[in-house]
Amino acid sequence: MTQAAAALARIRLEALGCERCPLYRNATQTVFGEGPVPASVMLVGEQPGDREDIEGHPFVGPAGRVLDKALAAAGFDRTDVYVTNAVKHFKNEPRGKRRLHKRLTAGEIDVCKVWLESEIKLVRPKAIVALGASAARALLGRPAGIEALRGKTLAFGEAQSLFVTIHPSLLLRMPDRASREEGFERFVQDLARVVSAIRSSETRKASRRVTLRNSAQPAGFSVR
């Protein structure tokens, strides 16, 4: 285990007892991020859903299955991606045996940001993908319109890129099959842009390394 992975494991344990806001009261447990450390790509959702809250893992419910399908279609292997949420507890309102999902407030997003910032620092992703408005709000520090930012590559941090797209649960709420299929294809395109951006970045870095190596060779010496 690397030092960064060990540090993140300690932070995960600390987060399990988080009571920084009242959301823990109706939640089963903290749902922390999962994936390789470091990872080239970090996906940031909004909050755990009912299934995630019960199982303790991010994106394992219906929206997670949509996400897995879209990642595969875009050329990702989910095991290579770090997946987390902006808020680590499931915000819900108990109604008999059911728990109804509730929208996050800006204050709840902001108070939970300490965990997300730690994840970004230790995972060191080259690209971060905000899935939904709450995730974009957590990362940008301000309200953000999804449609205004989709398809754009935003500078984030010192050497990272930020991409904004929908949360996969939106596709499940679309009223008809045609809308869902169209929405899914566009979602895949958003994720494919991330793959393309990372590959382009890696190609540029490899090219710079070759240029630097060649420039360091004595005159009359060639690399074969």
Q: How confident is the model at residue 84 (pLDDT cuts 50, 70, 90)?
A: very high
pLDDT of residue 79: 92
pLDDT value of residue 221: 37
Q: Give the span between the Cα atoms of 158 and 85, in whole angstroms.
A: 22
pLDDT, tens only, 43-59? 999 999 999 999 999 99
The 10s digit of each residue's pLDDT in 23-82 is 999 999 999 999 999 999 999 999 999 999 999 999 999 999 999 999 999 999 899 999
Residue 221 belongs to a domain = no
Residue 202 has what pLDDT?
A: 72
Q: Looking at residue 204, what is its pLDDT?
A: 66
List, in sequence order, every residue forming a beta bridge with 129; answer none if it has no partner.
Answer: 43, 163
pLDDT for the residue numbered 223: 36
Give the Cα separation of 91 and 104 in Å (integer).
Answer: 7
Q: pLDDT per residue over 113-165, tens digit each? A: 999 999 999 999 999 999 999 999 999 999 999 999 999 999 998 778 999 99
What is the reported pLDDT for 63? 97
Give the mean pLDDT of 100-113.
Answer: 96
Instruction: Tell me if 185 is assigned to some domain.
Output: yes
Global confidence as pTM: 0.90
pLDDT for 164-217, tens place per residue?
999 999 999 999 999 999 999 999 999 999 999 988 877 666 556 555 566 665
d(CA 139, CA 125): 13
Domain hosting residue 13, numbered range: 3-215
CATH number of 120's domain = 3.40.470.10
User: Per the domain annotation, does 121 fall within a domain?
Assistant: yes
Please count the residues of the chain: 224
Q: Is residue 220 part of a domain?
A: no
Residue 186 lies in a domain: yes
Q: Is the residue at 135 inside a domain?
A: yes
Q: How far from 106 is each of 81, 87, 167, CA to CA, in Å?
A: 27, 11, 17
Residues 17/58/146/137 CA torsion (nearest 10 deg): 10
Tally of domains in the chain: 1
Structure tokens at 215: 């420039």
In a domain, 223, yes or no: no
